[in-house]
C-alpha cells in the first residue's frame, strides 16, 4: 500500500521586506509611532516575529524604511506630476495658438505648431522644485508621523537613504538653475529646510485642529487666532495686528508655494548677480 507524502502548506503571499514596510506605514498612519510594535505587526501580517526579524533588525530600522518608502513615493509622484502638467500646459498653448491663427489668417500657423511641439514635456527646474515640494507637503499632511521622522533622519542619520533622496530631488534642479557649484549645498539646504519646516508645521496645525473637539473646524480656529492678534497692544505689536485679518482667509498650500517662490526668487537673483559680475564666466 502506497503511503501519502505530506505537503507543507504554503503561504498565500510571500512575506517580503516591502510588505512589512507597507504594513508598518499602515500601522503608523492608524496608530502613530507608539502603535508600531512588532506584536501589532505580526498580527497584521499573520506571521511570527522571527519572519519579520529576518527582514528588519529593529524598530529603528523599520521606521527608517517606512519613512524612505513614503518619501520615495512622494518624490516619484511629484516628478510624474510635473511632466504631466507641462504636457497639459503645452497642449493648452497649442490650442490657444491654433485659435489665434484661425482668427488671424496672416499668422504663421506652422511656426506656432512647431513651437508647441518643442515645449511638450519640457519642465522647468522651478516647476520641478515646486512639484517635489508639494509632493512632500502632501505626504507629510497625509502621514502625521512623517514630520517627526524626517527631522530625526536629517539630524541623526543623514547618511541613510532619506536625506540623500530629498537632497538629490531638489539639488539636481538647483544645479539646473545655474547656481554656482560652491552654492549648491547652501541653496538646496535652504529649500529643503523650508519645505520640511513649513510642511511639518502645517501638519502639526492640522493635527491640533482635528483635536479641538466637535464643531471647531479650521476656519473657527483661524478666526480665534486672528481675533486674538487683533486685540494685542497696538504699541507692542503693530505689525502682528496689521496682518491679523490675513490669518483668517489664507490657504495653506498657496502660502506654502508662495514661500517656495520667495526662496527661488532669491536663488535666481544670486545666479543673475554671479553671471553679471565682472571676471565671472
Across 55-68, average pLDDT: 95
pLDDT of 115 reads 47
Residue 97: band (very low, low, confident or very high) from pLDDT cuts 50, 70, 90: low
pLDDT (tens digit per residue) in 107-131: 555 544 544 444 555 889 999 999 9
Is pLDDT above 50 for 4?
Answer: no
Is pLDDT above 60 for 218?
Answer: yes
DSSP summary character for residue 213:
-
> What are the CB-based long-range contacts (under 8 Å, 24+) for 217-220?
219/248
pLDDT (tens digit per residue) in 43-58: 999 999 999 999 999 9
In the chain, what percentage of residues exceed pLDDT 70? 75
pTM exceeding 0.85: no
Contact assessment for residue 126 and residue 264, using Cβ atoms and an 8 Å cutoff: yes
Q: To which H or E segment does residue 79 belong?
A: helix 59-103
Across 184-195, average pLDDT: 96
CATH topology assigned to domain 123-211+251-276? Tetracycline Repressor; domain 2 (1.10.357)
Q: Which of 139, 126, 110, 153 is nearest to 200 (CA)?
A: 139
Domain map of the chain by residue range?
A: 17-57, 123-211+251-276
- CATH architecture of residue range(s) 17-57: Orthogonal Bundle (1.10)
Across 226-236, average pLDDT: 96
Amino acid at each position: 500500500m502506497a503511503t501519502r507524502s505530506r505537503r507543507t502548506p504554503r503561504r498565500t503571499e510571500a512575506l517580503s521586506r516591502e510588505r512589512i514596510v507597507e504594513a508598518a506605514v499602515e500601522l503608523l498612519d492608524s496608530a502613530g509611532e507608539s502603535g508600531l510594535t512588532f506584536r501589532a505587526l505580526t498580527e497584521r501580517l499573520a506571521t511570527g516575529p522571527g519572519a519579520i526579524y529576518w527582514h528588519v533588525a529593529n524598530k529603528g530600522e523599520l521606521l527608517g524604511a517606512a519613512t524612505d518608502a513614503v518619501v520615495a513615493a512622494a518624490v516619484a509622484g511629484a516628478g510624474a506630476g510635473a511632466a504631466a502638467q507641462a504636457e497639459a500646459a503645452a497642449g493648452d498653448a497649442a490650442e490657444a495658438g491654433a485659435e489665434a491663427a484661425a482668427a488671424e489668417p496672416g499668422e504663421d500657423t506652422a511656426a506656432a505648431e512647431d513651437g508647441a511641439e518643442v515645449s511638450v514635456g519640457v519642465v522647468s527646474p522651478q516647476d520641478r522644485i515646486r512639484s517635489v515640494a508639494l509632493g512632500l507637503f502632501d505626504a507629510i499632511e497625509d502621514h502625521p508621523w512623517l514630520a517627526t521622522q524626517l527631522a530625526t533622519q536629517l539630524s541623526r542619520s543623514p547618511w541613510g537613504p532619506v536625506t540623500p533622496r530629498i537632497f538629490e530631488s531638489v539639488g539636481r534642479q538647483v544645479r539646473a538653475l545655474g547656481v554656482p557649484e560652491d552654492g549648491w549645498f547652501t541653496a538646496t539646504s535652504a529649500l529643503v529646510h523650508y519645505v520640511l519646516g513649513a510642511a511639518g508645521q502645517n501638519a502639526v496645525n492640522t493635527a491640533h485642529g482635528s483635536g479641538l473637539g466637535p464643531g471647531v473646524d479650521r476656519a473657527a480656529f483661524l478666526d480665534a487666532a486672528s481675533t486674538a492678534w487683533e486685540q494685542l497692544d497696538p504699541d507692542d505689536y503693530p505689525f502682528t495686528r496689521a496682518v491679523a485679518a490675513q490669518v483668517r482667509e489664507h490657504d495653506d498650500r498657496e502660502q506654502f508655494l508662495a514661500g517656495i517662490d520667495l526662496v527661488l526668487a532669491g536663488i535666481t537673483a544670486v545666479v543673475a548677480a554671479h553671471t553679471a559680475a565682472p571676471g565671472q564666466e
